[in-house]
Amino acid sequence: MIYTKTEIPDLWLIEPMVYGDERGYFMEVFKKTDFQLNIGTFDFVQDNESRSTQGVWRGLHYQLEPYAQAKLVRVIQGTILDVAVDIRIGSPTFGKFVAVELSGDNKHQLFIPKGFAHGFYVMSDFAVFIYKVDNPYMPAYERAIRYNDPFIGIDRDKHWGHTAVMSDKDRYAPLLSEAENNFQYQMR
């Protein structure tokens, strides 16, 4: 696998080596020793899967400490625009985001550490999205930030160009400046 830092150094794009022939393909999706060597030690405790139709926006979601989640995300069918926003108070990249295309074809993965809000937009007819997390889902600690917060600057017209289908929770989420947030940036 190829591990590449994004514009926000704590976010990693992971490209697997895919071996294919006329029968199909094989790839390693996760190898603990390689992951630890390149990114660090994380104890993933839960795998999640969602299926969404074209035009759906999910996010920007996160869980507060002590139940914050690091995520390793990928798409097995379809194509999404995956977005991670740095919400760590004091971070030099606070409020900045990275957007990458993840698809069943490119097989790329994105590692999103704790302290980031996460969301995605479905670009294909549908997408099946799977991800590993290092803390279980805790509804009482889940929070959201509005995708079109001008401070963050995700431009719907530039990034996906269509009206998004979303839940009321996402549509009416607070702006980053109003959102409950207990993440502090830790210099490494």
pLDDT in tens, 111-155: 999 999 999 999 999 999 999 999 999 999 999 999 999 999 998
Q: Is the pLDDT of residue 163 over 80?
A: no
DSSP state of 81: E
| From 62, 121, 131, 147, the catalytic residue | 131
Domains of the chain: 2-178 (2.60.120.10)
Q: How far apart are CA 18 and CA 97, in angstroms?
A: 28
- Whether 131 is catalytic is yes
What is the pTM (predicted TM-score) of this model? Answer: 0.94
Name beta bridge partners: 50. 129
Predicted confidence at residue 176, as pLDDT, reads: 97
pLDDT per position as a tens digit, 97-111: 999 999 999 999 999
Q: How much is the mean pLDDT over the chain?
A: 95
CB 3 within 8 A of CB 36: no
Cβ–Cβ under 8 Å, residues 88 and 183: yes
Among 25, 61, 67, 108, the one annotated catalytic: 61
User: What pLDDT was estimated at residue 158?
Assistant: 74
